[in-house]
Amino acid sequence: AAPVVAIVGRANVGKSTLFNRIIGERLSIVEDIPGVTRDRLYATGDWNGVTFHLIDTGGIEMDESDEMENLIRVQAQLAIDEADVIIFLVDGRAGLTVQDEYVAEFLRRSKKPVVLGVNKLDHFSHHAQSYEFYSLGFGDPIPVSAEHGTGTGDLLDAVVDLV
Ligand code: GDP
Ligand code: MG
């Protein structure tokens, strides 16, 4: 079966924009399957000859009154469980947030391979803003602009290296 790649991150980092960008411009779409909710969408495509399923998840919400296990929306957890590789997306303009740290902890527990994309770095001059995300412990942060489509090829190269 084709490997499953899930885009995971807190709300508003640009997951859906990245999903649409990848599907729209970088992947040849084999099929589109509407998800069970509007926040969870699947597509199938290939990159450099590797076919995979891509999942766009809803954001992971942080509720300080709840246990960690309750912080993840069910669909995001399901996507993580299903995934062979996870694209962990953060917002390079906003910088590292407590929510990102919560997501990171969840992903560490999943023990799935993670590629870290730092989104909203729309200009090359902003790429240094990705460095602070090294502290999340997922290796080299990859600067991307889902809106402009820059860096998404590097991100997918890293993904297919892990499948
Ligand atoms: P999601 O909640 O993680 O799915 O995030 P969305 O894809 O809905 O995007 C949230 C907001 O960030 C929207 O207003 C997008 O237009 C904006 N956004 C997404 N990607 C980029 C980007 O690369 N650069 C900039 N400047 N804004 C972006
Ligand atoms: Mg979304």
- Is the whole-model pTM more than 0.80? yes
What the block records as the tokens of 48 is 């450099």
Judged by its nearest atom, the ligand closest to the C-alpha of residue 94 is: 1
Assign domain 4-162 to its CATH superfamily. Answer: P-loop containing nucleotide triphosphate hydrolases (3.40.50.300)
Is 15 marked within a binding site?
yes
Q: pLDDT band for 11, please (50, 70, 90 cuts).
A: confident
- Residue 42: what pLDDT? 78
Q: What is the DSSP string of 37-76?
A: STT-EEEEEEETTEEEEEEEPPPBP--TTS-GGGTS-HHH
- Residue 64: what pLDDT? 53
Mean model confidence pLDDT for the chain = 83
Asked if 80 and 100 touch (Cβ cutoff 8 Å), the reply is: no
For residue 41, the CA-to-ligand 2 centroid distance in Å is 9
Atom index in ligand 1 nearest the CA of residue 39 equals 4
For residue 12, the CA-to-ligand 2 centroid distance in Å is 7
* Pocket residues: Cβ below 6 A from ligand 1: 9, 11-17, 59, 119-120, 122, 145-147
Please state, for a pLDDT cut of 90, what percent of the chain lies above it. Answer: 53
Asked if 145 and 89 touch (Cβ cutoff 8 Å), the reply is: no
Residue 69 has pLDDT above 60, yes or no: no
Is 95 marked within a binding site?
no
Asked if 137 and 101 touch (Cβ cutoff 8 Å), the reply is: no
Q: pLDDT band for 66, please (50, 70, 90 cuts).
A: low
pLDDT in tens, 16-28: 889 888 887 544 3
- Residue 65: what pLDDT? 59
Closest by CA position to 125, among listed 92, 101, 153: 92
pLDDT in tens, 95-142: 999 989 989 998 999 999 999 999 999 999 999 999 999 999 999 999
Q: What is the ipTM of this complex?
A: 0.99
Residue 29 has pLDDT above 80, yes or no: no
Q: Which of 40-49, 71-80, 141-150 has the lowest mean pLDDT?
A: 71-80
